[in-house]
């Protein structure tokens, strides 16, 4: 158990089934800030490391293997399909829905709660950046990774991509992930961790719950790309 303390949050997120849910619940950044050790992450989040380790152990024990495929061993095509079908579709749908909900809540409560205007601005900017980001993944990087994997499987030569090496789009996409992570942090900060005020209506509460779910999904999504898909794709390219 003690070895957990020195492992990085990123490694734990990959190795322990259900770890990302624990990190999400206690507020440990495992996607963009995953390179720090568990001990350092707990110190930053002012958490008792023993409690977090206990939760990680419980999560591993109670996790059913059928819940989630093992993305460390699944094919890259399967992982990409999962990312697109689950996370890209959810993000696109929610960006649309939440934009309308934010407009509605801002119109009713914006006077009394000026932070809603800031929240709306942050969410709009995040959405404007995430749309093209996902298109780049779906139209540029992901198709090449799938083609590369198929060529390796069939022992055919890999066609060189127009972006020369996988590392190039990966570097740019990871910078964009960092930017998205910062927006999520700001949104969480100005909403006091998505705590609705006492005078809030149902729409206000629904908005905060939905934004929190949006954040949770985006963390999971970025984790799968930054920590699993991108390194595996870079490794595969290096091997050929």
Pick 117 or 168: Cβ nearer Fe ion: 168
Pick 19 or 180: Cβ nearer Fe ion: 180
Residue 16 in tokens: 């322990």
Cβ pair 232, 74 in contact under 8 A: no
Closest approach of Fe ion to the CB of residue 230, in Å:
9
Angle, helices 49-62 vs 19-26, to 10°: value is 140
Pick 94 or 137: Cβ nearer Fe ion: 137
Pick 7 or 185: Cβ nearer Fe ion: 185
Pick 29 or 225: Cβ nearer Fe ion: 225
Closest approach of Fe ion to the CB of residue 163, in Å:
15
Closest approach of Fe ion to the CB of residue 125, in Å:
16
Closest approach of Fe ion to the CB of residue 79, in Å:
11
CA quadruple 93, 94, 96, 101: dihedral sign = positive
Closest approach of Fe ion to the CB of residue 132, in Å:
11
Closest approach of Fe ion to the CB of residue 142, in Å:
9
Query: Residues with Cβ < 8 Å from 42, sequence gap 6 or more?
Result: 28, 48, 49, 52
Q: How many CB atoms lie within 10 A of CB 70?
A: 9
| DSSP string for residues in 47-102 | --HHHHHHHHHHHHHH--TTTS--TTTS-HHHHHHHIIIIIIHHHHHHHHHHHHHH
How many angstroms separate the CA atoms of 41 and 69, rounded? 27
Residue 216 in tokens: 């949770």
Closest approach of Fe ion to the CB of residue 215, in Å:
15
Pick 39 or 213: Cβ nearer Fe ion: 213
How many angstroms separate the CA atoms of 38 and 41, rounded? 5
Interface residue list for Fe ion (CB under 5 A) = 137, 225
Q: Write the CA distances from 17 to 2, 24, 39, 58, 208, integer angstroms.
A: 18, 13, 19, 10, 27
Pick 142 or 208: Cβ nearer Fe ion: 142
């Amino acid at each position: 158990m003690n070895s957990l303390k020195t492992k990085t949050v990123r490694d734990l997120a990959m190795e322990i089934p259900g770890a990302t849910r624990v990190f999400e619940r206690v507020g440990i950044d495992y996607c963009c800030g995953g390179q720090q050790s568990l001990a350092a992450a707990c110190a930053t989040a002012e958490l008792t490391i023993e409690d977090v380790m206990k939760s990680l152990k419980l999560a591993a024990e109670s996790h059913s293997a059928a819940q989630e495929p093992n993305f460390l061993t699944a094919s890259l095509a399967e992982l990409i399909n999962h990312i697109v079908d689950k996370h890209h579709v959810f993000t696109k749908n929610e960006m649309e829905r939440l934009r309308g909900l934010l407009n509605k809540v801002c119109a009713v409560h914006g006077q009394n709660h000026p932070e809603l205007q800031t929240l709306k601005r942050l969410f709009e900017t995040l959405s404007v950046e995430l749309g093209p980001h996902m298109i780049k993944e779906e139209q540029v990087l992901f198709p090449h990774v799938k083609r590369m994997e198929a060529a390796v499987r069939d022992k055919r030569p890999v066609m060189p991509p127009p972006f020369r090496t996988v590392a190039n789009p990966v570097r740019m996409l990871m910078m964009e992930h960092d930017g998205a992570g910062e927006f999520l942090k700001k949104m969480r900060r100005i909403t006091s961790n998505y705590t609705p005020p006492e005078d809030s209506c149902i729409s206000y509460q629904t908005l905060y719950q939905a934004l929190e779910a949006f954040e949770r999904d985006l963390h999971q999504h970025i984790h799968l790309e930054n920590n699993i898909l991108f390194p595996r794709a870079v490794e595969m390219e290096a091997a050929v």
